[in-house]
Structure 1
Amino acid sequence: MKPGPRSRPAEPGICVSGSSGAGSAFPAFLPSGAGVEPGSRPGTVAAVLPAGGCGERMGVRTPKQFCRVLERPLISYTLQALERVCWIKDIVVAVTAENMEAMRSIIQRYRHKRISLAEAGATRHRSIFNGLKALAEDQPDVVIIHDAVRPFVEEDILLRVVTAAKEHGAAGAIRPLVSTVISPSADGCLEHSLDRAKHRASEMPQAFLFDVIYKAYQQCSDYDFEFGTECLQLALKYSHTKAKLVEGPPDLWKVTYKRDLLAARSVIKEKISQEICVVMNTKDEESAGHLLKEVLKKELNCVNVTSTVLDHTGGNVQKFPTDQCYSFICVNVVSSEFQETQKFLSTLEESGLPLLYPVVVVLVHCCDLTLAPLASKMESLMWIRSLAEDMKKRNVLLSGLLLNYSKDEQKLQESFQQGASIIAALVKERSSALAGQLLLA
């Protein structure tokens, strides 16, 4: 069966390793003992994501791959994980006809690249087969099959299964069994149990030489298509290819139930809270910004705290971090700096960071509260609330912090430590309910 025409991706996504390019092949930094001869050209790699499920086990009307985590569809996180690997040249998503337009909107909104769409079938295996048929005309050497609802896949495990597939024809990630597998009898009693130490759980990603898996699917029976779930078994049954099993990391779990959405949310929030950038208006190492940075480093010793300086001439920041940082602490913000703050927020928005994750911005104003009434100081920062409402629509969670810059050394230290605790909570929780709040330390 000859596949129909499909649109080709115009450009690659963000690249983690090596240089990018729509025709990028396998990475040059293969690990020793990976099964690829030095100087060989393992060829091109593509991926197929079956995304036609209806979320029956989750018990929600929205298919789980389209459920939102931190206001972003789950499948977008999985696509991002694959796009960041520049040697994956093409990603085919098999999606149902009724969700085709929604998938196109996700690709456009979140600026995904190298994505092609194929129509999903009635079952998982039929969806995978349709994805493979979409690649058949310009077939890759190796194809990765991965679940749309496994968003935490890293380049290392992708590289290992692809390398093993190149040598053995097929490979898949496995994990130790958490629970013992038992077989019940017809009357509901225990018949026998498996020795957990001798068995493993089959996970994703899996990888195959394209000819191996395509040949297997071409020979599948209707029973395989309707009731089968294991691609490695099809390669063994129809292509006589024994898959190499690769020990995978613990974060290959699949979002299946509602509680898994909460777990995914927690993992993502933890991941994007590991970097904090302190933005200040001076390089003076005795400034409040530098002092706050040092306190944050001590209070949050597991978080990387960096700093940058606001350029008032252009309203931008020097060396604006655009890759991993989603938390910004802007120090010494006063009402006279409203325009500079807006320019900073515009630069932040233009970077594209808020498209992918909610970005926390804390505007910190330091002043000695013994020299001026607290009420007047808080009043001068009320503009933050209205600005926060507007920024929330852009996925930027903005809040204000008034920090008591006392001349008393002990009180100053206590104020900075309390401020660091407040900042840590805002960064970790990323709660839209806290956006627009004016807090006091």
Structure 2
Amino acid sequence: MEGECRVAVVLPAGGCGERLGGCTPKQYCPVLGRPLISRTLEAFERVGWISDIVVVVAPESVDLMKNIIRRYGHKLVSLVEGGVTRHRSIFNGLRAFVEDHSLGPALKKPEVVIIHDAVRPFVDEETLLQVTSATRQYGAAGMVRPLVSTVIAPSSDGCLDHSLDRAKHRASEMPQAFLFDVLYKAYLQCSDYDLDFGTECLHLALAYSKTRAKLLEGPPDLWKVTYKRDLYAAESIIKDGISKHLCIITNIKEEAVQIGFRLHENLKSHIKVNKSFTGPVEFIEFLFHHLGNSQPKFLKQKSCKLIDLLQAAQAGASYQSVVVSQSGSEMQKLSKIRELAKEVQKSDLLLYGLLINFSKEESQLEDGARQASAIITALITDRNPALTGQVMVV
């Protein structure tokens, strides 16, 4: 962000997910093999100007959340135990910035605090920037969306009493942002009734801090996962989003560079190729010279190394990568990719092998690149975990 402004996030994640059904709270349900809350945290951690993320969880979920943080490498997250209601949980999250809390010392107080739901994974940096900038000007801001259905009020006998003019009202969405002192002051003053039955943070800022929030029209994908069918919709949106971005990494050998260039040309009509560059020798050599040892401890070390290298190349688990290497007679080692693929899949990384028969004859080289591009596009689009560790040949 422009200027010095410390921005932090509070994610209330203590809900039990009754409307979703089942015994697992919705924030911990897997979406493409990864807990939903981890997807939301990843969205915030991609934003370089956010300093801290406080996740407020039910006491019985603390160990589960610690495991998620450790497994998926979340770096900015602090945990706080939640209260019995949403507002009490948010209040506990705010307290983490001004006093020691049950799971750690106090954090540095931000100028702006963003309130978001753990089950809204599709927030992007542009939306966060809009709501933060408006907050610095108005003291508070929140995203809204047009009402899809007309709101009606029934009478005590179950008949229609009146309806609202849909054009004059909006649905309140997340994220919402506040000057920290505005929201914290409001929570210090609000009643037990507000804490137990209220749902709207913007209302508390207005009622107790006299701050009229700026309302911003948000994008259509700010909805939250509420019902079981929403999990399938979330999977579809995530799969569609990550299948459109690609990073191609090649080693320095001429044959690999040629294949990489042709893959780039063939793939860019279907996928946004964000990067195409010659990768570090350490990264390329790792893939083809460390597959012979299948001992569990060795595989775990190498899977961590692979993930670190991908992140260093600005790839990562939700950023598709194609690594091209002229591997010579490495077929035997490459065939052992299956065990490594099983290990890295625990970190939501799907690893496949594709051998492209290289030919110096131009038409055959181009034909091989086209076939390889078709296979790569299918793998990226489908993200089929059943195929991880398989070696395909063009």
Counterpart of 2:289 (choices 339, 342, 354) is 339
Q: Deviations over 1:264-284 (max 9, x none)?
A: 222323333311415356336
What are the within-5 Å matches in structure 2 for residues 357-436 of structure 1?
357=318, 381=331, 384-395=334-345, 396-401=349-354, 403=356, 416-436=369-389
Kindly provide the amino acid, as one letter, of the partner of residue 203 in structure 1: E
Question: Partners in 2 of 1:309 and 1:86 — Cα distance?
Answer: 25
Q: Deviations over 1:8-56 (max 9, x none)?
A: xxxxxxxxxxxxxxxxxxx326xxxxxxxxxxx6x53332211111111
When structure 1 is superposed on structure 2, of 344-353 and 157-166 the one drifting more is 344-353
Structure 1, unmatched stretches of 5+, are 1-26, 30-40, 321-336, 368-376
Shift of 1:172: 0.9
Q: Is the 8 A contact 1:282 1:309 kept in 2?
A: no
Counterpart of 1:95 (choices 38, 45, 57) is 57
Residue 124 in structure 1 maps to residue 86 in structure 2: yes
Question: Partners in 1 of 2:320 and 2:62 — Cα distance?
Answer: 29
Residue 350 in structure 1 maps to residue 308 in structure 2: yes
Residue 212 in structure 1 maps to residue 182 in structure 2: yes
Structure 2, unmatched stretches of 5+, are 100-107, 294-301
Q: Give the 3 Å change call, closer, same or farther, for CA 159–52 of structure 1 in structure 2.
A: same
Kindly provide the amino acid, as one letter, of the partner of residue 155 in structure 1: E
Q: Is the 8 A contact 2:57 2:80 kept in 1?
A: yes
Counterpart of 2:119 (choices 138, 141, 149) is 149
Residue 76 in structure 1 maps to residue 50 in structure 2: no
Q: Secondary structure at 2:145's aligned position in 1? A: strand
Q: Secondary structure at 2:18's aligned position in 1? A: coil
Residue 316 in structure 1 maps to residue 283 in structure 2: yes
Q: Give the 3 Å change call, closer, same or farther, for CA 362–248 of structure 1 in structure 2.
A: same
Kindly provide the amino acid, as one letter, of the partner of residue 56 in structure 1: E
Question: Greater relative contact order (Cα 8 A, min sep 6): structure 1 or 2?
Answer: 2
Question: Partners in 1 of 2:304 and 2:179 — Cα distance?
Answer: 46
Shift of 1:135: 2.0
What do you get for the CA RMSD once the two structures are aligned?
3.6
Q: Is the 8 A contact 1:278 1:305 kept in 2?
A: no
When structure 1 is superposed on structure 2, of 407-416 and 164-173 the one drifting more is 407-416
Kindly provide the amino acid, as one letter, of the partner of residue 135 in structure 2: A
Q: Give the 3 Å change call, closer, same or farther, for CA 59–89 of structure 1 in structure 2.
A: same
Question: Partners in 2 of 1:429 and 1:362 — Cα distance?
Answer: 18
Q: Give the 3 Å change call, closer, same or farther, for CA 151–47 of structure 1 in structure 2.
A: same
* Structure 1 moving runs of 4+ over 6 Å: 340-346, 362-367, 404-412
When structure 1 is superposed on structure 2, of 214-223 and 354-363 the one drifting more is 354-363
Residue 140 in structure 1 maps to residue 114 in structure 2: no
Kindly provide the amino acid, as one letter, of the partner of residue 339 in structure 1: H
Q: Is the 8 A contact 1:283 1:309 kept in 2?
A: no
Shift of 1:262: 2.2
Kindly provide the amino acid, as one letter, of the partner of residue 223 in structure 2: W
Question: Partners in 2 of 1:100 and 1:247 — Cα distance?
Answer: 35
Q: Give the 3 Å change call, closer, same or farther, for CA 187–114 of structure 1 in structure 2.
A: same
* TM-score under structure 1 length normalisation: 0.72
Matching residue of 1:283? 254
Counterpart of 1:261 (choices 231, 246, 252) is 231
Matching residue of 1:303? 272
Question: Partners in 2 of 1:65 and 1:431 — Cα distance?
Answer: 23
Kindly provide the amino acid, as one letter, of the partner of residue 293 in structure 1: H
Kindly provide the amino acid, as one letter, of the partner of residue 309 in structure 2: S
Counterpart of 2:167 (choices 197, 205, 218) is 197
Q: Deviations over 1:169-191 (max 9, x none)?
A: 22111112222222334444443
Shift of 1:317: 4.3
Q: Is the 8 A contact 1:279 1:308 kept in 2?
A: yes
Residue 437 in structure 1 maps to residue 390 in structure 2: yes
Q: Secondary structure at 2:92's aligned position in 1? A: helix
* TM-score under structure 2 length normalisation: 0.79
Shift of 1:360: 6.3
Aligned length: 371
Looking at secondary structure, tell me which structure has more helix per residue.
Answer: 2
Q: Is the 8 A contact 1:288 1:366 kept in 2?
A: no
Question: Partners in 2 of 1:90 and 1:140 — Cα distance?
Answer: 9
Question: Partners in 2 of 1:437 and 1:184 — Cα distance?
Answer: 59
Q: Secondary structure at 2:268's aligned position in 1? A: helix
Question: Partners in 2 of 1:69 and 1:342 — Cα distance?
Answer: 32
Q: Secondary structure at 2:15's aligned position in 1? A: coil
Question: Partners in 2 of 1:435 and 1:286 — Cα distance?
Answer: 25
Residue 28 in structure 1 maps to residue 2 in structure 2: yes
Kindly provide the amino acid, as one letter, of the partner of residue 33 in structure 2: E
Shift of 1:342: 7.6
Matching residue of 1:61? 23
Higher Rg = 1
